[in-house]
Amino acid sequence: MTGTLKFVQGNEACVEGALYAGLQFFAGYPITPSTEIAETLASKLPQIGGKFIQMEDEIASMCAIIGASLTGSKSMTATSGPGFSLMQEALGYAIMAEIPCVIANVQRGGPSTGLPTKVAQGDVMQARWGTHGDHAIVVLTASNNQDVFNITIEAFNVAETYRTPVILLFDEVVAHMRERLTVPEKNEIPLVERLQTSVKEGVDYHPYLPREDGRLPMSDFGGVHRYNVTGLYHDMWGFPTATPAIVDGLIHHLTDKIRNNVHVITKFKEYYLEDSSTVLISYGSAARSALHHVLNRRKRGENIGLIELQTLWPFHGELIREKCKNARLIVVVEMNLGQLYRQVKMAVDRPERVFLANRVDGVFITPTDIKNMLRLIQGRGV
Amino acid sequence: MERCRLVFSGSGGQGVITAAIILAESAVIYEGLVAVQSQSYGPEARGGATRSDIIISESEIFFPKVTQPNVLVCLTQEAYNKFYTIPRPGGILITDSHYVETWKKVDSRQIELPLYQSVIKEIGKPIVLNIAMLGAVIKITHLVKPESIMKTLETRINPEFLSMNQTALELGMNLAEDYAMEWIGGH
């Protein structure tokens, strides 16, 4: 790949990806271990004519990026668990009002203020179900700088394509670790720009009237069209309604637009699945240790492979079932008490094959941890 | 060199993390190598025994932390007491003779260097102690060329401090002259 070679932290790789994707507006409140995202953007965004605002808290941050996005700017915020909790209400609003935006949650140990400087992956379910009511959400993750860069661009693309908030679920290890990043030349990675309405000024614009392909063209708020935006169930004008048929149509529209595209949205990497009797499933920084272990054991002739998920939600259960169909043992490697593990168990045939290899003490799971847990699972002792 | 794992330790403010970043960045940007650098974050990074892990390799690095370093550097007694046992057998333990009194025999090769004293004597300012340490490390290990370190420093620091850093780098290299190894690292 041609481009500019850099040596940066994961948080900076996220910033580079966001800028490449065309980020114009950031509002946030600094919190470890995500602070470098805000810090770097505070210096870089103004240089390209973008806006950076440090808000009074995370509630305001989330609301600010929703407003900015509605006016036509690609927008994001960044936070960690405690701040992500505060963002849940407005996140639901963005889902309901169908406003594209990107939220980076660099996970640390929880619950509550938990372990500010230590690694964890405990927000997988919060990202899925943190806001109330039935809804769909897109949650992406990555395990190295180049992937953090690419997946951040993907987050903006998905947000614009489906008019939805997208969550980047990183973790402390990937965020703070420094490694190389190649920032490609402009136009090397395709970007999805805002789908603008072709309705002219003075002509009625229906903000929530889908085109035939289901997409909703937007009109920059404060521009030539006047329209209503609400968190209430709404009609094609954007005005509140409780008409059962409209309510029913909207909730299915909101969930189907993501669920029906799970095969398009899902990104993953696979290693040595062809002949693997043991399949590890992991994501984020834990996938680095899992891959390290897989390569070690491969050298010793073991039939072991890895699926690294980059899209956590929507969860592509069919894909996991298919990829694991010949495995004798499926082991989910994650740094929580089994949040993705339960999802995998529900997805595969013969769920008794599925085990959890985890660590929840704030210490990064090592290849040796995984090796020892696998030996116990296999009944071989440590 | 297939893969070399290093741990730099000292107390917050000595610049061990900065030195680690400069070393890893030089390897990646100017030598075409693969490198990963990470560091301790919590309160310990702001006073107590701080630590930074670096892996430099010719191939991809997945697990980014160092459990058994080929090279351990300790710039304070506290760091030495905490970490002296971790080098892998046959590795190198570099300490500063002003700050650290070595008191245990370990399976690694111990190299005590008067880095602090020389920096104070020759330069007069302790702020470049970390760069002198880096000079010693690259002299002993040949991980990266001194020119690569200088190129990285040029992008990071005020030009008026460059010559002081260059002097410190050379000072460290000269102090480590007798300890230069042919090969370091492992598979």
> Which domain CATH number covers A156?
3.40.50.970
Same domain as A168, residue A57? yes
- Sorting pLDDT into bands at 50, 70 and 90, what band is B48? confident
Show the 3-state SS of A54-118.
ECCCHHHHHHHHHHHHHCCCCEEEEECHHHHHHHHHHHHHHHHHCCCEEEEEEECECCCCCECCC
- Res A146 pLDDT > 80: yes
CA-atom Rg of chain A in angstroms: 21
Residue B108 burial class via C-beta count within 10 angstroms: exposed 0-12, middle 13-18, buried 19 and up: buried
Residue B2: what pLDDT? Answer: 87
- The pLDDT assigned to B185 comes to 55
* Residue range A188-193: mean pLDDT, rounded: 98
Q: At residue A2, what is the residue type? A: T
Higher pLDDT, A339 or B13: A339
Nearest residue in B to A286, CA atom: B63
Cα A242 to Cα B62: distance, rounded to the nearest angstrom: 53
How near does any CA of chain B get to the CA of A9, in Å?
A: 9
Name the pLDDT band for A12 (thresholds 50, 70, 90): very high
* Residue A327 domain flag: yes
- A-chain residues within 8 Å CB-CB of B21? 7, 178
| Average pLDDT of span A78-82 | 98
In a domain, A292, yes or no: yes
Chain A interface mutation, best of B51, B62, B187, highest count of A Cβ atoms under 10 Å: B62
Asked whether residue A358 is domain-assigned, the answer is yes
In a domain, A26, yes or no: yes
Whether pLDDT at A29 is above 80: yes
State how beta strands B71-74 and B3-11 pair: parallel
Residues of A with CB under 8 A from a CB of B: 5-7, 32-33, 116-118, 172-173, 176-180, 285, 288-289, 291-292, 295, 364, 366-368
On the question of pLDDT at B186 being above 60, the answer is no
Out of A58-62, A325-329, B104-108, which region has the weakest mean confidence (pLDDT)? B104-108
CB A72 within 8 Å of CB A145: no
User: What integer pLDDT is reported at residue B46 of this predicted model?
Assistant: 66
In this prediction, residue B40 has a pLDDT band, given cuts at 50, 70 and 90, of: confident
Spacing of C-alpha A331 from chain mean position: 22
For residue A337, give Cα distances in angstroms to A308, A372, B102: 18, 17, 42
Q: Write the CATH number of the domain with boundaries B3-59+67-179.
A: 3.40.920.10
B69-118 pLDDT per residue, tens:
999 999 999 999 999 999 999 899 999 999 999 987 778 899 999 999 99
Say which of B28, B38, B42 has its CB closest to residue A177. B38
pLDDT tops 70 at residue A285: yes
Instruction: Give the range of the structural domain holding residue A333, as residue numbers without chain letter.
Output: 270-377
Q: In this complex, do B35 and A117 lie within 8 Å of one another by their Cβ atoms?
A: no
Q: Are residues A168 and A28 in the same domain?
A: yes
DSSP H helical segments within A231-365, as ranges? 244-259, 262-265, 286-299, 317-323, 339-347
Within chain B, what is the greatest distance between any pair of CA atoms? 43
Which residue in A117, A285, A367 is closest to B41 by CB distance? Answer: A117
Confidence of residue B184 (pLDDT cuts 50, 70, 90): low
Number of domains forming the structure of chain A: 2
Q: Which residues of B touch A33 (CB under 8 A)?
A: 41
In this structure, the answer to whether residues A180 and A41 fall within a common structural domain is yes
Residue A377 has what pLDDT?
96
CB contacts < 8 Å between A and B, how many?
Answer: 58
Distance of alpha carbon A170 from alpha carbon A285, whole angstroms: 8
Claim to verify: residue A161 and residue A279 sit in the same structural domain:
no
Mean pLDDT, rounded, of chain A: 97
Q: Tokens for A222? A: 């404060």
pLDDT of A85 above 60 = yes
Q: Can you tell me the distance from the alpha carbon of B143 to that of B139, in angstroms, rounded to the nearest whole number?
A: 8
Residue B187, pLDDT score: 41
Query: What's the pLDDT band for B182 if we cut at 50, 70, 90?
Result: low
| Shared-domain flag, residues A153 and A286 | no
Using DSSP, state whether B6 is helix, strand or coil.
strand
- Put the strands of the sheet holding B92-96 in their side by side order: A3-9, A178-184, B34-39, B49-57, B3-11, B71-74, B92-96, B109-113
Q: Do A177 and B36 touch (CB under 8 A)?
A: yes
Query: Domain extents for chain B?
Result: 3-59+67-179
**Domain final residue, candidates A184, A202, A235:** A184
Looking at A138, A157, A184, the residue that finishes a domain is A184
Decide if pLDDT at B1 tops 90.
Answer: no
Within a domain: A372: yes
What are phi and psi for residue B94, nearest 5 degrees? -105, 125
Chain B residues near any Cβ of chain A (below 8 Å): 21, 24-25, 28-29, 34-39, 41-42, 61-65, 67
Find tokens 């927000």 and name the residue. Answer: A123
The mean pLDDT of chain B is 92
Residue B103's pLDDT is: 83
Q: Is the dihedral of CA A118, A116, B37, B177 positive or negative?
A: negative
Q: CATH number for the domain including A366?
A: 3.40.50.920
The band of A260, judged by pLDDT with boundaries at 50, 70 and 90, is very high
**Test mutation, B22, B33, B41, chain A, max A CBs within 10 A:** B41
| Beta-carbon separation of A7 and B35 below 8 A | yes
SS3 A133: coil
**B149-163 tens-digit pLDDT:** 999 999 999 999 999
What is the rounded average pLDDT of the residues A304-321?
98
Contact A179 B37 (CB under 8 A): yes
Would residue A192 count as lying in a domain?
no
ipTM reported for the complex, 2 dp: 0.94
